[in-house]
Every structure is written in C-alpha cells, then in structure tokens.
Chain A
C-alpha cells in the first residue's frame, strides 16, 4: 500500500511537471507544416562531378567541399539523393571514382549484379583512418566499406589516391625524401603486394600533384614526374619555356596531362597533346565514342565552349556553343560533360557542368543555362532582415506624417495648414486609387510587381544573406524566392576567423530614401579594407558601390543616424590605430564613441575613446586588460556582446515577497571566454564579463576540465553558454543572471563611468542531452515578449528553450520563496520535448548559426538557421497574443452580432407595444 501511495505521489509530481512543461511548449499543428517556414537544401562548393546521361537513370554524381556526396537530376538540377558525410578532417573526400569513368576503357570494376565485388561509385575519405566506401548510386546507400590505418598518421595527411584498373593506389609523399605507394584491390581492401618506396628527394609540399598515374612536381623551369604504376620507376624531366605564374593543375581523364598557365603540357610520352590551345578550363570527355577535349572561356559575359578531338586536335563543331553567362555566377570552370549517345550525334544532347568562383553549379545545354544551383548558400556568414518598402499610397501618407513631425519643430506650423495638407493628400490618394481602378495609374515599380510590399504586420521582409564566397542574396522570407543576387569577386573574410560583415546603414523607415546596406570585407588582392554599399531591396549598388579603402580594417563600429540623410556611418579603426568614418559627412557623430579590440592569441583587450575636435578625428587608448593568465597561455575563444537593437521592457524581477530585484542591464557589457591547457585539469575555461567602456571586469568565473565547443548567448541581464564537460563527458549549459539589488542606483540614465557597485550574480548549470551547435536568443520589437533560447543541435534540430527552464534562480530546495516567484524547482536535466523543435522534421544539416530578428508584431520573432541547409521560420515565444488565431470564425462572430442586435431591437419594439396595451386595459 505504501508503495502504491508513493508511486501515486510520483505520478502526481510527474503530471504536475508535465503540465508545467506543456504550458511552455509551442508545438506546430499538422496543417501548419511549411506554412510559416521553408527550407532550402544545399550541397556546398563542387569538388568532383560526373555526368552520366547514358545510364538507365541519367544522373549527375558529385562530391563537394562540404563533404557531401549527392546525385542530381540532369534535367532540373534537383537532388535525387544526398549524403552528408563526416566533417573534416575525418570526412575529407579525397577521391570520388565512378565506375566506367576510369582513364582506361579496360576498367573492369563493374561487376555482375548481386556480387559484392563491384561498385557504382567509390569514395575515399580522410587519412587516419582512410575510409573507402562503395556506393549504390541509384539510391545513395553505402554498399561496402573498408578502411586502413596508416602507420604514420601525420605523413598520411598529405596522401593522395588514384584508381586504375580495379586497383586503388594510396600515395604517401614523405617530403624531400621518398614516395610510398601501396596498391589495394578497390572493392576488398586487400593489398596487391608490399608497399613500394620510390626515392624522390625532389618532392616539396607546395608544388606537387598527381596527374593520372604520374606524380608531378614543379621545380623552377621544369616539371619532374614519375609514373607510379610503371614497372620500372623512371624520373622524367619536362622543360618549360618559363617559370609558370600560377599553380599547375592536372587534367583528369588524360594520363599525365597538366595545365600550366592555361596551356597543356604532357609528361607522358604515350599521350599526345594539343599544345596550341589556350583556355581557362579544360576537360576530357567522349563524344560519338571518340575522346574529346572541351574547353570553355568567359569573354565579355559570354561563355564560349569549344572542343577538339584528342587524337588529332581537329575541332568538334557540334560541341561549339556560346552562352550568355550572368555576372553573378563569377568565373566558370568546366568540370564535366556528357552527351546522350544517339545515332545522329549532333551535340544537342550534351550537358556541360560548370563550377563557378561564386560557388554555383551551372548546367549548360543547347546554348543556354539549363539550371543553376546556388551552392554558396551552404556557407552563409551573415544575415539581415530588411523591411520592405511601403506601397505608394501608404508612402504619401507616411511622407505627410513625416512633414508634420518636421513641422512640429518649427514654430510656423499651424493647424489650418496641416489640415489643408491632410485634405490635399487624401484627395490625391483618392485620385490615385480611382486612376488605379480604371487602369490609368502610374505603372507599379519593379519591387511592387514582385510583390515586395510591406504587409500590415511586418512579417514579410527581405532576407539578405551574405555568403563566404562573396555572393549576396536577396531572398523573400515568406516564399523563399531569390529576388536578386550580387557577386563581389576578390573579397575575403578577415584574419582570426572573423567573417565579412553585413551592416544596415539605413532602414526602410525613411520613405523617399531607399534602404542602404554595406558589406565590410578584406580585399583578397592586397588585404586592405573594402566597402560595398547596395540597396537591399533591389540588389543594385548604391552610393558609388564598391569602395576600396587604402588602409587595413582592424575593427569597426556603427554610428548613430545622421540628421540629413539618416545614414548610420561606419567608424573604422585601421591597422595604425587611426579612425575613419564612412560616409565622411557623418564624422562629427563619432565624437564620444568608445571602441575596443581583442587580440585572440594574446588575450589582450584595448579600449579607445574617439574624439572629434577641430575637424580632426583622433583615437585615444584609454584602457587595456590582459586575460592571458600568469603564463600567458590563455587564448580568447569567444566574444559575446548583446544585440544592439535589443529593448528590455521589464527592469526587474518580482520576488516572492513582492519586492523587486532590479536587473543589472549594462549595455556595454561584453563576455569574453578564454581557454588554456592545464596540467592538472586538462583544460581550463575562464569567463570574464567586462564593461568595454570603462574596462572594468564586472565578473569572472573558471570552469575546470571543460573544453569547447563553446556557444554563448548574451542578452538583457543574463548569459547562457554551453560547453563540453570532460570530466563527466556531457554537454552542459551554464546560465548567469546579474542583478543590481533591491534598488536602482540611477533609474534614469546608465553610465558605465559612474556604474553602480558590483552586481549580484546568480548562476546555475544544467545538463543538455544533446550536442549544441548554435545558440541564439529570440528578439522582439519592444522586448515585452518572453525570451526563449534557440538551441541548434548536432542532429540538425532547433529547440526552443524557454528562459524559465534555464533560469539560474530555479530553487534547489522546493521552498515557497521560489514557487511564489514563479520559478520551477531545479532539475539538472533540461527536457527536450519533440514539440519544442521548431523545425520538426526539416532538419538543417551541419547547422552552424541561428539568426533572429524582430518582426512588426511584438509577439513574433523571425528566425533563420544556416548551415549546409537554410531554414527560415518564425517563432512566438509567448504565443501570438497580439494576433487572432488563423481559424478565428469571423462569420460566426458577425452572425451572432447581427442576430443579437436585431433581436434586441425587435424585442424592444414588442415590449413597448405590450406596455401600451397594458396601459389601455
């Protein structure tokens, strides 16, 4: 009986907990799937590709730099199947070999059906261990796998593989010494003999490559090569006319052929070469059962494809074509082509696959671009949601309001003139509406035609995506349509793994003025700064577009809006600690700004004050902090500042006794995390909260036996970070909250220079039963809605974690104090209920980052998760309290209203008649 009672007790406890959790969940109904969200699936930049149009199932097999193996439909470019393999270095795809595409026609790898010896396609990945996998290319499954563990793992890092006649060769170069070649039967993994060591003291890491079976190194003005398969090893020296200006490349498909400065050179005496050709990219394929050499060049926006027969170097007119090639694809390089074998081979059935410098995959057929895949979206590095422009009528209204606001400052405004303006604008609106109705109005602008007009709730926005390749996309956040694309060649990310920045300089709020975005990057040519300004709605360059700066960028800051054109200037600190402002007329606004820089390697922070006096900007160093530790081993691994557009609505927290615990909301607080190896504790992680205006350390904490991956969210008065606990081998999340106390030191202004005393710190750690890949807090317009933390997991899910589960004030002993405060009793494990996954089954492969932005609705926050895939959705942490439900029954409500009103009228009439009758009685 006692047992039953206790079990009943636990049941009640559990159900209570469940109820608590249920109140937090925000699951999706089945009919809402794909209503607010969309996902686009990507593969990454192309590494190797094989088109096969003559297979019973035509396909494009490819491997990418993101360690993805996939098969595409040659007609549309859609993914037939995709396998996301292990991350680098373990999953690094070193070779993709498709059966029947070997150099020699004597290839016998295609085994009879049902045998375990054949393969459709094989891949070699990684170096220690090297994984060799055979694939079924029709459905994308692994048929078999074998692996080898090399003796010297560090040597094997540079290993290359090639395939010839059913044998897979593993080539391990030992730099400046020798080459070790081991041959394996491709399908079984058995060695064919012992490892052969070929003495080659001339091999150097930067100038060697494999071309077919030849190992080739560039040595000054000559090529030194070696046939690795030949019975007798013989070093062949091929002289070049001059030292090549670019790197030498191999030409797959022809044994021992190299591309040196756009020309072809053969190191194989059995292989003839068409040496008079000059082209940016070459490719070997077959056409009408003859081997052809195709080459493609981009000339003035037109892609010219030509081909010659390999045996006699005569042109193949059937394959010759010119294609108009969009600028935003970048420079193409021909990667694969195949022609459908027909009796009259007229070249019309040939499909050419190009990889471009903007990481697109472009398929060309019959003189036009058949399809293109934007694979640069697999590496999104920054995003912004931009409000769409107003419709014309609303625009004039907005203009009028603005006029009023401006007039309010001047004294000569009077009610009569304002009223007159109002009347005239409304008359104009009526006129334009009338003209629109009868079809005589002004033609809609391009953006209006594309449906890019602001909606009433501000949910429809332009999502600007900046990718690592320098390609920028303007994507509709509701439909997922790419409205515009831009490609910036020759830009790169900064040092210290800092990416390019996408900055909104002017929002859409200033109506006749167009919004303005800027990209701050480093020039790939001379490592100086580059600034590119563009209109995020149309995707056209604005304000003279690309601006090459003549200095290096060390750090930057965004200034407040100027009064004349509402542009937020960019304050740039250059390599010599001087400051510049772009655009120039915003320079006076830089006065009084604070700047800081963090050196990740030495863990040193520098604080600067920017002064504008006498038309000159100057930058004074005011503080520095060294976080390197006593032996300077600590390195900064993460810097987390708050979202600058964040609003904090609630200034405190109500306690159980109805007093207020005021939040310590320091807008200048930045979290720094340093890590160092430690003799006793393996790895030590330090967290510092530093006020970057005054340079004072507000709080610090140490975690021992803890290591990255570290992900951190910093918002309002709290901080949450996840790390791997090495001692107990699990991922944990620690949360910190800062409070000022029971009274606010200054309730009107915040100044870091007269900051209140040290805050009270609450902290707690939780166990999260998954691997965290990204974390981000939700953000809303006014900050009234609760904050949730979006946690991206390694499996590609995004969990919405309410803050009250992460709350460090969750009481450990279940006291009434905590309960009255609304805090749930502390349970170390964080629950991950499936209904809290905002992307249900739309997993985001290789989830890397989550970005959030407020919408026009206070309850709703827009979310974009990036990784290999792209997932865009919206979340409402406190439910959509400011929105009627979609299934709200307007008809029923209006019917009830009408019936009630008319009923009451009728009844009143009847009642008055009855009274009259009674009075007569």
Chain B
C-alpha cells in the first residue's frame, strides 16, 4: 500500500528509508509489464469471455427497453408503431441469421452456451414483437381473418315454383 503511495509520489524518486526486509524496488526505467506476458494473455482471455457474454446477453438486455417502447407506442395502427414493430421483428431475426459470424469473434469454452443464450434472447425478442403484432391485431389468429377464403356451401337441393298460375 505504502509502496503504491510512494510510487505515486514520483516515478523517479528513490526512498531509502524503507526497511531491509522489504522487497527491493525495481531499478529506474524498469518496466514490469514487459515481463508479465503470460498473465496478460489470461486476462485477455477473461476479457474476451466477458465481452462475448455481453454480446450473448445483449438481446436479453434489450427486452425491458423493448417492453417500454411497446407500452409507449400503444396498440393503434399507424406508421410509427408499425415501423417500431417492424424493427423489433426484423432486428432479432437478422441477428439470428448472423449468429455464425458473431460467434466466430468469440470462440471459446463457453461458445455453445453463449450461442444458445444469444439465440434464446433473440427468440424472446421475436416473441415480444409477435405479441405486439397480436395485440395490434396484425396476426391472422381469428376466424374472421380467414373469412374471405371460406368457400360458399354447395347446395344439394334445387327448387322451382311460386304462386299457382291456375
């Protein structure tokens, strides 16, 4: 702690008042980072994993934001909500298609798990967008949406007649 404090004082200052049993300070101009190549790699690795987890969890983190946007945009069908819903639907799908590319950047021990999480998160986003579509009435989920394709009934009996002519 004190050494740290000391080193903060000045890079080039030598303190001769330190006790003997303490480690010897490094000579001036000595760069300790030049020596720790091995640990640096490990830290990088950890960073990459952290970063790729960030990437994998990104879609899941978007969910609260999307929920808020959904709530704010309302259920009316007009240009902005439609654009929003479109983006919400298209972005995760696009992301899912590019999973291979994304995961190439972060290949490691937890790659598979990250990939699964990433896809799940995107699927959750798609589900959210679909729910939004549904609540806006854009999904053909009702019988009325298929009414135009209902064929008229064929009649089995034919009749003729009317008021008697006699």
Contact = CB atoms under 8 A, between A and B. Distances in A.
Contacts of A748: 151, 153-154
Contact of A654 (B147, B151, B157, B162): B147
A599 B161 CA distance: 12
A498 B157 contact: no
Interface stretch (A68-76, A367-375, A542-550, A590-598): A590-598
B163 interface: yes
A648 B152 contact: yes
B143 A660 contact: yes
B159 A495 contact: no
Q: Which of B148, B151, B156, B159 has the most CB of A within 10 A?
A: B159
A660 B147 contact: yes
B160 A749 contact: no
Given A652-B147, A658-B142, A693-B159, A747 B165 contact: no
B153 A746 contact: yes
B39 to A, nearest CB: 50
A553 B137 contact: no
Contacts of B164: 495-496, 554-555, 597-600
Nearest to A593: B158
B165 A651 contact: no
Nearest to B160: A557
A599 B165 CA distance: 9
B157 A598 contact: no
Contact of B162 (A560, A597, A659): A597
A651 B147 contact: yes
A163 to B, nearest CB: 43
A750 B153 contact: yes
B152 A594 contact: no
A555 B158 contact: no
Contacts of A639: 162-163
Q: Which of B142, B145, B148, B166 has the most CB of A within 10 A?
A: B166
A794 to B, nearest CB: 25
Contact of A595 (B137, B151, B161): B161
B42 interface: no
A764 interface: no
Contacts of A751: 155-157
Interface string A546-573: 0000001111111010000000000101
A757 to B, nearest CB: 16
Nearest to B137: A658
Q: Which of B150, B164, B165, B166 has the most CB of A within 10 A?
A: B165
Interface residues of B, number: 24
B142 A557 contact: no
A319 interface: no
Q: Which of B142, B150, B163 has the most CB of A within 10 A?
A: B163
Contacts of B147: 650-652, 654, 660
B144 interface: yes
Nearest to A598: B163
A561 to B, nearest CB: 12
Interface string A635-662: 0100101000001111110110011100
Contacts of B142: 658-660
Interface in A740-759: 744, 746-753
A597 B155 contact: no
A692 interface: yes
B144 A659 contact: yes
For the side of the interface on A, what is the size category? 35 or more
Nearest to A754: B156
A553 B165 contact: yes
B134 to A, nearest CB: 11
A668 interface: yes
Contact of B150 (A560, A641, A667, A747): A747
A558 B152 CA distance: 22
Nearest to A650: B147
A374 B33 CA distance: 117
Contacts of A746: 153
Interface string A598-632: 11100000000000000000000000000000000
A749 B153 contact: yes
Contact of A651 (B137, B150, B161, B162): B150
A785 to B, nearest CB: 14
Given A652-B150, A747-B153, A555 B165 contact: yes
A70 to B, nearest CB: 35
Nearest to B152: A648
B102 to A, nearest CB: 34
A654 B144 CA distance: 6
Contacts of A655: 144
A573 to B, nearest CB: 8
Given A597-B164, A660-B142, 8 more contacts: A555-B161, A598-B162, A652-B144, A665-B152, A668-B159, A747-B151, A749-B156, A752-B157
Interface of B: 137, 142-145, 147-148, 150-166
Interface of A: 494-496, 498, 522, 552-558, 560, 571, 573, 575, 592-600, 636, 639, 641, 647-652, 654-655, 658-660, 665, 667-668, 692-693, 744, 746-753
7 contacts: A496-B165, A498-B162, A560-B158, A594-B161, A660-B144, A748-B154, A749-B155
The 5 closest A-B CB pairs, nearest first, are A557-B160, A494-B165, A750-B153, A596-B161, A654-B144
